[in-house]
Each structure stands twice: as C-alpha cells, then as structure tokens.
Structure 1
C-alpha cells in the first residue's frame, strides 16, 4: 500500500507520538465541542478556517493554541522539517466510510508547510500531481506525522477516499474512528 515514492517535499514520520500521547490527545479533543458543519466532525484551534469563503479572516482568531498541544507543537518546531511553532490546528474526525475530497490546503491562507498527525486508526491517503496526473498513495498509520512542503504542498492534491476499509498488502483492513490533527501557520496580510 505505501507508495514506492512520495511527492517531493513530503516527509512521513511513523510513531511521532507514543500510544499514551495518542490516547491523551484524543481524550483532550473529546472533552471539547465537535462542530458538525461538515459531513465529518471538526474542531478549530488558534484560527477558524471558513470552509464556505475558503479563507481565514482577521476576525477568525480564536486565541492561542491550548496548553495540551504544547508538547506536539514543540516537537514540530524542534524535531521536524516543519521548523516552527504552528498557530492553527484543525482536528477532523473520520468515521468508517468518511473521507475528504482531493484538495490543496488554501494557498493564500496558510504558510508553506502543513503537518498532519493521525490518531486511532489507519487510512490510505492518495496524492495526484495537478499537472501530470501522476498518482501515488500512502497508508497513514496511527501516531504518524505527515508534513507537506514544496511540491507536495502546492503541486499535488491529497485526499482520503471515503470507504469502510483499505487494502493493505492484499488484505482488507477495516477502518475505525480516525482523528487527524492538521497543524498550519496562518498567513496574515499587512
């Protein structure tokens, strides 16, 4: 299932958090309020992204990221190619059968690196080069971090097919509840 190659600029780090940290992060999210504005449940931290306007406006600031995110944010800054503290995080909950359509994270909204931490269940992410149509895929394992930068951030779309299971090494692997935590930095105009 894992691609022989990933888009240039993509970095995949398995076991970025421990199983204990994974449980603590999921529990912290579940004490918060999940929005049901989309087909999947979401939570916004730092800045709220407006899905309809496809923008982050000046009045969308929600406050600093919560303290319980500090260890992950510090690791993103100090131990990865992300290289800075994020100021925005969106948590997305995917139940079996749910996914997200092919997209590139909002270019005028967010800085040049996007990091996504997978919790609780694995799923396949597909990539497609916008100009050539070349495709590849990656199995996102629980506790793994994916960083998209450069070509992977701007020239390739990424998506999670909406299905109940993925085929891994020729075997059907049912999906369970998955939570992704996507870390970004908001671009603010003068």
Structure 2
C-alpha cells in the first residue's frame, strides 16, 4: 500500500493505493454481480441513472433519509472492514455499504454525503477501473481533481468530508490536476459510511 496525503491542499483527504489485491477484487465483483442491482427503473431508488446496491441500511436519495434497516454488512466486505479498522481510518465500524456501478459515460453530480446522517469519515474503494474525482469547496470554489487508481481507497474526513463537494464526470477520458489521464471503463465503487444517530423505524 502507498498513501498519498492531500491534506496540504484539502484537509482530511488521503488516498491509499492497492488497498485490495486483484483476487480480492474479482471475488467482490463476483459477489455483487450475483446480487440484485437497483436503479435504472428498478426499486429501491428506481430514479437513479446508475446501478447501485446498499447494505446495512437503505438510504433514499429521493427523500434524503434512511428508510429501512437491512442488517449487518455482507461477508464479502468483512476483510475490507477489518482493514479499515486496523488502520484506524474510521472512528467506528462502518454500518453502511453503498456499491455504485459506473459504466462508460456515467458519473455523479457534485455532492456532500448527507452530513446529518452519515459519520465523519467517508471511504470509497475503486474497483475494475480508475477515475478522476473532483473536489470543489462549497464556499471558495477551490477545486482539485485527483486520480483514484484501480484498487485504491480514498478517505474523506474533516474539510474534505464537510466543506467540499465531490463528483465524477461523464467523460470517457479523465484528466487529473497533475496532468495524469485515464481512459474510463466499467468502475464499481464500494463506499463505506457510518452514522451519528440510532434510527427509529
């Protein structure tokens, strides 16, 4: 693993390369592809224009709230969760896993993961393909485009979590702030989050 600390540009932002190996990646992709995807007209969250899976609890993008408790995170994520906690990347064991699929031409608009719902650390693992993630300060407009290599984990805490929005373009070729280019392909991300509150259902 190689860690790049971007805190001198955006406080709280780090990138850990080779967080998983190729065999782990293949097993995780096989596991999610064997499960039910939603989005693209399929419930829950049928309004999404990309395919997703959620574990731990069900978050509604339309209503911006948690709708249902889904139980513990799946077995195929256990080794990753153990690694997260061993490296002290989150203050508490993550209880929400969001799996996003991005095919060529798909991205995500600038957003900050629901500050009132999810905890102080957002971690996202990039599988199958690299991409460039843009960070934009909500007040100053300061931006930084960083390359998220295949198999890497990006960790957002502090300012990068709360004061910046992050996004992924729909471009077929991405360019990072350092000039690195990447040709996009199918990318599957595993985003690990916690929560501040105990929800009543």
- Same-fold status (TM-score > 0.5): yes
Which secondary structure state, in structure 2, belongs to the residue aligned with residue 49 of structure 1? strand
- Please say if residues 54 and 98 of structure 2, whose CA atoms lie closer than 8 Å, have aligned partners that are also in contact: yes
CA distances 1:140-164 after superposition (whole Å, capped 9, x unpaired): 1111001111111000000001111
1:65 Cα shift?
0.7
Asked if 1:103 corresponds to 2:106, the answer is no
Distance 1:77 1:170 in 2: 33
Distance 2:142 2:109 in 1: 17
1:171 Cα shift?
7.2
1:10-159, aligned counterparts within 5 Å? 10-36=13-39, 37=46, 38-57=48-67, 60-159=68-167
Distance 2:76 2:5 in 1: 33
Give the RMSD, CA atoms, in angstroms: 2.0
Distance 1:8 1:178 in 2: 26
Which secondary structure state, in structure 2, belongs to the residue aligned with residue 65 of structure 1? coil
Q: Which has the higher contact order (CA 8 A, sep 6+)?
A: 1
1:187 Cα shift?
2.8
Choose 147-156 or 2-11, whichever is displaced more. 2-11
Asked if 1:165 corresponds to 2:173, the answer is yes
1:80 Cα shift?
3.9
1:173 Cα shift?
3.4
1:19 Cα shift?
1.1
Instruction: Identify unmatched segments of 5+ residues in structure 2.
Output: 40-45
Which secondary structure state, in structure 2, belongs to the residue aligned with residue 69 of structure 1? helix
Match of 1:181 in 2: 190
Instruction: Identify unmatched segments of 5+ residues in structure 1.
Output: none
Distance 1:164 1:3 in 2: 27
Which secondary structure state, in structure 2, belongs to the residue aligned with residue 181 of structure 1? strand
Which secondary structure state, in structure 1, belongs to the residue aligned with residue 60 of structure 2? coil
Q: What number of residue pairs does the alignment pair up?
A: 187
CA distances 1:21-44 after superposition (whole Å, capped 9, x unpaired): 111111111110010221100000
Match of 1:7 in 2: 10
